[in-house]
Amino acid sequence: MSIEELKSLLESGRVNEDQDVIRTYSDDWTGRYKGFTSTVIFPHSTDEVAKILSWCSTNQVSIVPQGGNTGMVGGSVPLNGELIISLRKMDNVSFSNTNKNQIVAEAGATLLKIQNLASERGLIYGVDFAARDSATIGGTIATNAGGLNVLRYGTTRRQIISVEAVTGTGKIIGNLNGLEKDNTGYHLPSLLCGSEGTLAIVTRAKLQLWPEPEETVAILFGFNTIEDAVNLTEACMTANTEIIACELFFQKGVDLVRESYDLQPLWDNKNSIYLLCEFAGDSGIFDRLSVNVLGKILQTHDSVLVATTDRERQRLWQYRELHTVAVSQKGIPLKLDVTIPLGNLPHFLNSIDTICDNINPLSSPYVFGHAADGNMHLNILQSEPNVAEMEEEILKFVVSLEGSISAEHGIGRAKAPYLHFQRNEDEIRLFREMKKAFDPEGILNPEVIFSTGN
């Protein structure tokens, strides 16, 4: 077996062995996972992906599928010299011929590309987050990405109507029929969504679009206690069907963002727990908000900023969206993406500093996330040399609070050793058998989701 044989099966220029190019694909976005490989392959079509995987399977060559390489759990880089299959050259998007509210996207198309096309028809794509200009549709399907608007539109799984993919033996499966109702056996879009490149390489998908709201209003609230912030989250969700996002962050994170970017302070008083709520619907949102449960808070609370124009909204969103980049400019954090049931969220959040401090007094946790989903992101700087201990203790705490050890970023390599915290032996055995059915030689992302310990 030689890479020359694979090259001969493909058009020229698909296989890149230039180490300067490869380097930019080998390390992950967070800087925590540094890989190496001899080769990055850039297929231009589903048939080419099929040829590559058929050859890799026959020759037992392991590969890592890669989209925008913005994943947060070390799933997209070759830690053991696997070949990288980058889907970036497959990035065509077009409206469906058979359904005006659907888009057909190749796996390498970015979220932004899809959002831009959707807006040409006054429509939107339901998944959005800060890495929109580089995260791809294939990567977001593989991780079942969530983001800022899950509350209204659900995770990626809810947006995919049909999917086409290539299995570990090079077989093309799925379809792009775009039918919401299609109960013909197992539902491949659901199964492949969240499979993190371990079952098949997603090549194309048909995506559902939603009507663009007439008006969007963002309101930033400041609180002194986590309980108050969580209470407002619950009140918004119960009383207001127009809520679209509800993000929680803290003064420590805002200070870090302001240190890295030239942003104004938000307000002068001491309210240091921030809840950024966004509402979208027909025009007149603010009037409707003023008469429901938020009315009293809007009139009496002294830490409230209302943004009704796109410019004002973007200004408020920067304080939240820039957290990830601002933290990574300080160092390589231990990242934990977890879900906690809302009722247990105050206890969780009030305990994190103490847990970290007890394990390593020098550690510095930053916490922010999607409050309505109970999805919190812990970014712990200076956790060395206690990373494993801290990770294990916090994830056990999450499980004890009936939460999930992975909310929206996946298991990847980072959480593979902890899968058994959440999934029992029978489930993990079944997962392995499913992998074997799709990828009998075990060439697709061999160390992702499963570790030798579970």
Contact status: 136 vs ligand FAD (CB under 6 A): yes
Q: Which of 170, 174, 178, 197 forms a contact with ligand FAD (CB under 6 A)?
A: 197
Q: Does 132 bind ligand 2HG (CB under 6 A)?
A: no
Structural tokens at position 404 = 């999930």
70 binds ligand 2HG (CB under 6 A): no
The reply on whether position 150 binds ligand FAD by CB under 6 A is no
Distance, CA of 427 to CA of 422 (rounded, Å): 10
Residues binding ligand 2HG: what is the number (CB under 6 A)? 8
**Which one of the spans 15-23, 196-204, 379-387, 397-405 is the region binding ligand FAD (CB under 6 A)?**
196-204
> CA angle, 186 as apex, 185 and 189 as ends, to 5°?
125
Is the peptide bond between 213 and the residue preceding it cis, with omega within 30 degrees of 0?
no
Per-residue binding string, ligand FAD, 87-126, x by CB under 6 A, is x-------------------x-------------------
Tell whether residue 206 is a contact of ligand 2HG (CB under 6 A): no
* Amino acid letter for position 158: R
- The angle formed by the CA atoms of residues 184, 187 and 192, to the nearest 5 degrees, is 150
Question: Distance between CA atoms of 33 and 372, rounded to whole angstroms?
Answer: 30
Q: Quick check: 257 binds ligand 2HG (CB under 6 A)?
A: no
Shortest distance, position 373 Cβ to ligand 2HG, whole Å: 10
What is the per-residue binding string for ligand FAD in 50-69, x denoting contact by CB under 6 A?
A: --------------xxxxxx
Determine, following the binding rule CB under 6 A, whether residue 324 of this chain makes contact with ligand 2HG: yes
Among 40, 41, 130, 254, binds ligand 2HG (CB under 6 A): 130
Q: Is 367 helix (H, G, I), strand (E, B) or coil?
A: strand
> Of 72 and 160, which has the nearer Cβ to ligand FAD?
72
Binding ligand FAD (rule: CB under 6 A), the pick from 103, 145, 371, 395 is 145
Query: Are 415 and 448 a contacting pair, CB within 8 Å?
Result: no
H/E segment holding residue 279: strand 273-281
Q: Quote the CA–CA distance of 194 and 197 in Å, as a whole number.
A: 8
SS3 421: helix
Instruction: State the binding string over 374-403 for ligand 2HG (x if CB under 6 A, else -).
Output: ---x-x------------------------
Please tell me whether residue 202 binds ligand FAD under the rule CB under 6 A. Answer: yes
220, burial (CB in 10 Å: exposed 0-12, middle 13-18, buried 19+): buried
* Chosen from ligand 2HG, ligand FAD, none, partner binding at 143 (C-beta under 5 to 8 Å by type): ligand FAD
DSSP secondary structure, 282-330, as one string: SS-HHHHHHHSTHHHHHHH-SSEEEE-SHHHHHHHHHHHHTHHHHHHHH
x/- string (CB under 6 A) for ligand 2HG, residues 265-304? ----------------------------------------
The set of residues, in sequence order, having a beta carbon less than 8 Å from that of 144 and lying 6+ positions away, is 155, 156, 157, 193, 194, 408, 410
Token duo for residue 28: 């992950």
Per CB under 6 A, residues contacting ligand FAD are 29, 64-72, 75-76, 87, 107, 129-131, 135-136, 138-140, 142-143, 145-147, 196-197, 201-202, 324-325, 408-409, 412, 445, 448
